[in-house]
Amino acid sequence: MSKIIETLSLVILGVGCFIGGVYYATLEFENQLEVWDSNYQIITDKVYSFEKVSDPKTIRLYVKELNKILDDVTFLGKMVKSGQTSAESLDEFFSNYDTMINSVNDRILELNKEHMESVTKFNSQIAGLSEDQDELFDTTEDLEIIIKDQSDYISQLNVELGQSINKVEEDVQTIKSSKYGKKIWKVKK
């Protein structure tokens, strides 16, 4: 009888340790998942901020306004300097103006190219994080299934152990009630 109790105690202790280990691993996994999620949010916020600042329409509008101001200032400066509005000074002004516009357009194209490369890079990083997050959710679901299966198995094992103990007690009572059992019981006392 004491061996059965010892075995039962060891089984319960082992099951308790296993459940505790699975619970601890699940908590650690959830903590790591929160860290990954916060990193994902930081990257997402940075991408949105970058897109807002580097919007091509906004950049074009500012460049257009700056070009108008630059044209007016340059034109007025040349008028004041020369004291006249000759065709030659206008031709020179427009030549310089065309050079500046070409320079600004080249810079806009470079900025647009850099912007597109950055957006592509951020999109690939976001896609990678999304895949990692999907894998983590799948792993979490798998762990939940394993924990439920282990819990069901332990419950079934407890029921079977209870039934086995009841059967052993019935057998002991049957033996005690038998003719030989009474003799053995008398000798033992």
Integer Cα distance of 119 and 115 in angstroms? 6
Span 100-147, pLDDT tens digits: 888 888 888 888 888 888 888 888 887 777 787 878 788 888 888 888
Is the pLDDT assigned to residue 185 strictly greater than 70? no
Is the pLDDT assigned to residue 1 strictly greater than 80? no
Is the pLDDT assigned to residue 98 strictly greater than 60? yes
Cβ atoms of 110 and 59 within 8 Å: the answer is no
pTM of structure: 0.33
Identity of residue 72: D
Mean pLDDT over 155-176 rounds to: 85
Cβ atoms of 144 and 29 within 8 Å: the answer is no
Span 17-52, pLDDT tens digits: 888 888 888 999 899 999 988 888 888 888 877 776
Q: What is the CA radius of gyration of the chain?
A: 41
Dmax (CA) for the chain in angstroms is 140
Cβ atoms of 126 and 39 within 8 Å: the answer is no
Identity of residue 113: K
Confidence at residue 15, expressed as pLDDT on a 0 to 100 scale = 85
Please name the residues in contact with 36: beta carbons below 8 A apart, sequence gap of 6 or more.
129, 132, 133, 136
Residue for token digits 């357009």?
A: 105
Tokens representing 38 are 């916060």
Band (pLDDT 50/70/90 cuts) for residue 13 is confident
Is the pLDDT assigned to residue 53 strictly greater than 80? no
Percent of the chain with pLDDT over 90: 2
Burial degree of 28 (CB within 10 A; 0-12, 13-18, 19+): exposed
Integer Cα distance of 44 and 49 in angstroms? 9
Which residue ranges make up each domain of the chain?
Answer: 2-183
Integer Cα distance of 10 and 102 in angstroms? 84
